[in-house]
Structure 1
Amino acid sequence: MASDNGGALAVGSSAPDFELEGMGPAGAETVSSEALKGTPYLLYFYPRASTPGCTTQACDLRDHLAELRIPGGGALKVLGVSPDGVSALEKFITKQALSFTLLSDHEHTLAEAYGVWVKKKLYGREFMGIERSSFLIDAEGRIAAFKRKVRPAQHVAWVQEALAQLG
């Protein structure tokens, strides 16, 4: 269910390994791909906490989290990734009452591994930043589906469609 060319990453390929500090509803935590083995999860990359598009996307996920279920299984674990520091993530989670974990990829290592740290252009200025993207990882740690250039308001619908195709 890949939507775009993911470079070296493709449906069925192993998801890049990671270990990142972050903030969850219960406080600071460290999340690793190794600890997630056996658990399907959504890894979504967003440019910056507390910006309009990122807030729309995060709140929509929050509001529909209970509906995002693995076919024949439990709830989908959702992890948001941005280059923000942990303190910015804490403020974002608190202000928006988010019920999932946000991870700090301040050196954009994971973003680069997923190919979502890209050259962007805004008002004629070029800079490097996150391409809003989403990856559904299966219990074996393989990419089950992905979407590049996610539109914040359409993200949940894509996740629901991707989950339905897993069944």
Structure 2
Amino acid sequence: MALREGDPAPDFNLPKDGGGSLALSDLKGRKVVLYAYPKDDTESCTKEAIAFNGLRAEFAAAGAEIIGISPDPARRHDKFKQKYGLAFPLVADESHAMLEPYGLWVEKSMYGRKYMGVERTTFLIDVHGRIARIWPKVKVAGHAEEVLAAVRAL
């Protein structure tokens, strides 16, 4: 992984669902849960989004913003959010401008075929813009709850 806990979180400014853009620097002074996922509307990615969405009130009460990011276009994010009633921003990184500096655009392998894709990873960024915690190679079950506990402890 390119980044480590304690490092400043690299800023980005990318298109988001619903139009407009989102910059990490706009959220300075707040805790940010930034989770990267491979593709909208796939089984694990949907489960992860629904889990974070189900706990969004608890994350807000703990002072944290949730942001999902994938290489899917913003139009696809719009459909994904609407289909599952997601209430947090989804950022589109089609050019991998954020995914590469964060070390998330990696070579993967499935059934012997190699390809480039997103490594499912979550970052907890503190109020000073530093990476407080990293969860690499996330397993979806129980993950949102584990991240919430870390947010509360921060």
Residue 70 of structure 1 contacts residue 163 of structure 1 at CA under 8 Å; is this kept in 2?
no
Deviation at 1:81, TM superposition (A): 0.4
Counterpart residue type for residue 143 of structure 1: I
CA deviation after TM superposition for structure 1 residue 154, in Å = 2.3
Task: Give the structure 2 partner of residue 127 of structure 1.
Answer: 115
Summarize the alignment of residues 144-163 of structure 1 with structure 2, pairs less than 5 Å apart: 144-163=132-151
What letter is aligned with 1:86? A
Counterpart residue number, 1:36? 27
Which of 16, 30, 34 is 1:22 aligned to? 16
The alpha carbon displacement at 1:58 in A equals: 0.2
1:38-57 equivalences under 5 Å are 38-57=29-48
Post-superposition Cα deviations, 1:20-72, rounded to whole Å, max 9, x if no partner, equal: 0011xxx323111221111211110000000000000000111111122565x
Structure 1 outlier segments of 4+, above 3 Å: none
Which residue of structure 2 lines up, in the alignment, with residue 137 of structure 1? 125
Partner Cα separation in structure 1 for residue 100 and residue 22 of structure 2: 18
- TM-score normalised by length of structure 1: 0.87
Residue ranges of structure 1 left out of the alignment (5+ in a row): 1-5
SS in 2 for 1:78: strand
Distance 1:132 1:154 in 2: 14
Q: TM-score, normalised by structure 2?
A: 0.94
Alpha-carbon deviations, 1:50-108, whole Å to 9, x = none? 0000000000111111122565xx3x110000000011000000000001000000011
Alignment partner of 2:54 out of 34, 46, 63: 63
The whole-number CA distance in structure 1 between the counterparts of 2:135 and 2:61 is 18
Percent identity over the alignment? 40
Cα offsets for 1:107-127 (capped at 9, x unmatched): 112111110111100111100
Match of 1:115 in 2: 103
Q: Mind listing any 5+ residue stretches in structure 2 that lack a counterpart?
A: none
SS of 1:62 mapped into structure 2: helix
Hey, what does 1:10 align to over in structure 2? 4
Alignment partner of 1:135: what SS? Answer: strand
